[in-house]
Structure 1
Amino acid sequence: MPEVQLVLRSTRVITPEGTRAASVAVTDGKIVAVLPYQAAVPQGARLEDLGDDVLLPGLVDTHVHVNDPGRTAWEGFWTATRAAAAGGVTTLLDMPLNSLPPTTTVDHLATKRDVARAKAHIDVGFWGGALPSNVKDLSPLHEAGVFGFKCFLSPSGVEEFPELNQEQLAQSLAEIAGFGGLLIVHAEDPHHLQSAPQNPGPSYADFLASRPRDAENTAIENLISQARRLNARVHVLHLSSSDALPLIAAAKREGVQITVESCPHFLTLTAEEVPDGATEFKCCPPIREASNQDALWAGLADGTIDCIVSDHSPCTEDLKNFETGDFATAWGGISSLQLGLPAIWTEARRRGKSLEDVVRWMAAAPARLAGLAHKGAIEAGRDADFAVLAPDETFTVDPAVLHHRNQITAYAGRTLYGVVKSTWLRGRRICDRGTLTEPTGRLLERQN
């Protein structure tokens, strides 16, 4: 074993084999061994004794809208990665839209990397975008190291990132399958959305009716059909409709290469508790009823849903239309990058789930989705990325102390379990009780 520089010791370390008392040895930013709790500290190594706080692998969030460059009034790499670090997230993948330019060509990717390089407090990778007009750019983007390609099947909300129709989806998916890439999909069918009742105003019930479950179900059914025909890898983003779970489970049993994520807001918030006019709760697809949420948790438990990621999609306060509370015209997106771990842990413990489950859903599975073999677990050979959590401590969400740029959140005033004491990136403490160091994050490229 190489010379050990750092040992983190805890009575509760979550490893792929389970939770146990252990000492984790680190050298040059890598985990070199997970040792017995009472193992002697090697000469010259620094010991960090965490007591009974839980040592988790740093979380991996594969669904973050950083919006930088171009819409930096909404968010930016400096603020987003600070929020992530404060929430125990050590790796994020940036979505290709809401920045100007969008990440749809190799030149645009270079622009994005140039902006992110000096601002990243955590490690950052990039998704590419699949548009009707950029099929020729997909393979070059893949070669340049994007982790996959995002598309919409219904309007995205920004004109520079148009959706794919079914013919364009087939064309892009065939191209991506040809080089073994991954397509990640905002799956809502535009025809169902167009035919749904559209009643603008502050009524959340009216907004919910405008984004029916059938829009998700039909889009996912069509996506499964395309993936089956082309033997392509696809990933369903931000699953909201539990009605789609049997379709997805059957496709997985059949061998279709499909994975699925859901998000903290779908798993912790319910339509019944959204006040009329409270547009901080607007997202697309929408937060649905409590019975739907129960079924999503069952889908997590049985493996139909693979992972939980934030879909952090912030905006400026004016775009939320707080003065009118009009759900139809307010920007759709929930800001939760800093709060995902405590929000999910609060609900998971209420439902009898363990922190090991949370780590599987929020660290191991997203790392596997992105092919990040050096992230997402506490074991020898992985990056020494950690979150230190006091799982039984609570706090009340105060938007004023959140690090993302616009301090709007649907979690304001909620009391949550799980205080992130510190966050470590490659063996270096980057956040200590909310206080952050200067940025040391790296830009990541796809490895497989």
Structure 2
Amino acid sequence: MIVRSRQVMLPSGPQPAAVRVHDGVIAAVLAYDAPSTVDVDLGDVALLPGLVDTHVHVNEPGRTEWEGFATATRAAAAGGVTTIVDMPLNSLPPTTSVAALQEKKAAATGQCHVDVGFWGGAVPGNAPDLVPLHEAGVFGFKSFLIDSGVPEFPPLDPAGLRAAMSTVDALFIVHAEDPSAVSDPGPTRRFADFEASRPGAGEARAVAAVIDAARATGARAHILHLSAAAALPLIAAARADGVRITAETCPHYLTLSADEVPDGATEFKCCPPIRDDANRDALWAGLADGTVHCVVSDHSPCTPDLKRPETGDFGAAWGGIASVQLGLPVMWSEARRRGFGLDDVVRWMAAHPAALAGLRGKGRIEVGADADLTAFAPDEEFLVEPAALHHRHPVTPYAGKRLHGVVRHVWLRGVPVDGTTPRGRFLTHE
């Protein structure tokens, strides 16, 4: 089969090309008019590598009423994402032992519409489990420096993080907020009260603690869902000093503003919080200069009642935004407005997340890579209608927004993803 487009997003940049697929991998990248007997001609519709989302909370088993592998991966595919890496919480049990990993894989078997990998968790008391978990294939270990929101996944303090990093040669991904800087906003319908309760200075302080741990141990560390631009100079300076540190941010931090959140609109609540316009601009600058490495969803759904819609109480509502299906058009709509190209978005959402996880066969269109492909019409527009979303509960802060970019087709290893027949495979670290 050949898939051709006048806008193929290659590592060298966009250009007309024909991508030949054989046995699930990209066999050749040819001239646009190369002959073929089995042909998909996209014309001006862009051909992207399937996106790689390394920050997805599937929540199955144990909290499958929040989400699940069938619904999460169907939503991912509808959004042009062909690979996800599942977080070790909020499933029950959390992925903090090999037995828990096997239980999660058993729950996911036969349900996945895209390829799925797994993060392990580093929590107090599970140091003996870290090496076996890594040998069992998890991509690295997630830790919190603050309460996670669920009791079965307690946080590490900075000393505990340093000890965990010394236990296993693996990537450590960290939710970095300093608990001493966080306060209880109390019952409130005002988003400003919630944002003030989790200040950017506390995020920066925790990022500094992660940098110190990585510097002391030589470990690879990655800052999850960075929302506070105040941490950007710390990350840049540490990297210049040889510390192995990277950072990600999320579409909601890059496209939404604290100043625009209506009272009681708890669908906007996430932790750390969305911040103001100046902070958002600084995050975009951090993406442009490479301080922020990649953009991932932090898809973190829950049942609608946990968002407290009846009261609009930001203090009591669950903090999480479900957006795995919308990340690509959300990002592209804002990126094009700011003068970035579709190839920039592909780099942030496909190539760099794949590199972070060490997935050499994912996130790029080149010979030898998996034929995970997304046909994307960048100039088409659509209105976000919750009823069209595939994740289990269609709660979203993007409802009613008009976005640029429509996912037309998705292929997983050269086979169309139809949302009916699950063909996803489990991935392990290479």
Task: Tell me whether the two structures share a fold, i.e. TM-score over 0.5.
Answer: yes
Whether the aligned pair in 1 keeps the contact of 2:158 and 2:213 (CA below 8 Å) is no
CA distance in 1 between partners of 2:124 and 2:305 (Å) = 31
The equivalences for 1:287-298 within 5 A come to 287-298=274-285
Conserved in 1, the CA contact under 8 Å of 2:70 and 2:113? yes
Confirm whether residue 17 of structure 1 aligns to residue 9 of structure 2. Answer: no
Q: Distance in 2 between matches of 1:119 and 1:198?
A: 39
**CA RMSD between the two structures:** 0.8
SS at structure 2 position matched to 1:446: coil
- Could you list the structure 1 runs, at least 4 aligned residues long, displaced by more than 4 angstroms after superposition: none
Q: Is the 2:95–2:121 Cα contact (8 Å) retained in structure 1?
A: yes
Residue 103 of structure 1 aligns with which residue? 95
Preserved CA contact (<8 Å) 1:74 1:315: yes
What residue is the counterpart of 2:232 in the other structure? Answer: 245
Q: 2-side partners of 1:360 and 1:255: how far apart?
A: 23
Matches of 2:104 and 2:184 in 1, distance apart?
39
Following superposition, the deviation at residue 200 of structure 1 comes to 2.4
Cross-structure match for 1:3? none
How far apart are 1:201 and its partner, in Å? 1.1
User: Which residue identity is paired with 2:39?
Assistant: L
Q: Report if aligned partners of 2:54, 2:85 keep a CA contact under 8 Å in 1.
A: yes
TM-superposed CA distance for 1:437, in Å, is 3.4
Q: Which of 95, 107, 110 is equivalent to 1:115?
A: 107
Q: Write the letter of the residue equivalent to 1:181.
A: A
Residue equivalent to 2:250: 263
Instruction: Check conservation: 1:197, 1:209, Cα contact below 8 A.
Output: no
Structure 1 residue aligned with 2:176: 187
| Distance in 1, Cα, partners of 2:15 & 2:181 | 49
Task: Give yes or no for contact 1:151–1:183 (8 Å, CA) kept in 2.
Answer: yes
State TM-score, norm by structure 2. Answer: 0.99
Matched, 1:34 2:29: yes
Q: Which residue of 2 aligns with 1:46?
A: 38
Whichever residue aligns with residue 418 of structure 1, its letter is G
Matched to 1:264, the amino acid is P
Q: State the identity as a percent.
A: 62
Structure 2 segments unaligned to the other structure (5+ residues) = none
Aligned equivalents of 1:109 and 1:222: distance in 2?
A: 29
Mapped to 2, the partners of 1:282 and 1:211 lie a distance apart of 12
Give me the whole-angstrom Cα distance separating, in 2, the residues matched to 1:226 and 1:446: 23
Matched, 1:442 2:399: no
C-alpha contact (below 8 Å) 1:200/1:207 kept by paired residues: no
Alignment of 1:37-436 (within 5 A): 37-41=32-36, 45-176=37-168, 180-193=169-182, 196=183, 198-431=185-418, 436=419
1:198 is displaced (CA, Å) by: 2.8
CA contact (8 A) 2:375 2:410 kept: yes
Deviation at 1:197, TM superposition (A): 6.1
TM-score, length-scaled by structure 1: 0.95
CA contact (8 A) 2:173 2:221 kept: yes
| Other-structure match for 1:7 | 2
Distance (Å, rounded) in 2 between the aligned partners of 1:369 and 1:146:
13
What is the CA deviation profile of residues 359-378 of structure 1, one whole-angstrom value per residue up to 9, with x for unaligned ones? 00000000000000000000
**Residues 184 and 315, structure 2, Cα contact 8 Å, conserved in 1:** no
Contact 1:200 1:206 in 2 (8 A): no
One-letter code of the match for 2:33? Q
The separation in 1 between residues aligned to 2:355 and 2:184, in whole angstroms, is 39
Q: Secondary structure at the match of 1:78?
A: helix
Asked whether the 8 Å contact 1:123–1:441 carries over to 2, the reply is yes
1:392-437 deviations in Å (ceiling 9; x for gaps): 0000000011000001001000000000001110001104xxxx23
Query: 161-170 or 394-403, which moves further after superposition?
Result: 161-170
Letter in 1 for 2:109: R
CA shift, 1:226, in A, is 1.1
Gaps of at least 5 residues in structure 1 are 1-5
Q: C-alpha separation between the residues in 2 aligned to 1:407 and 1:17?
A: 37
How many correspondences in the alignment?
430
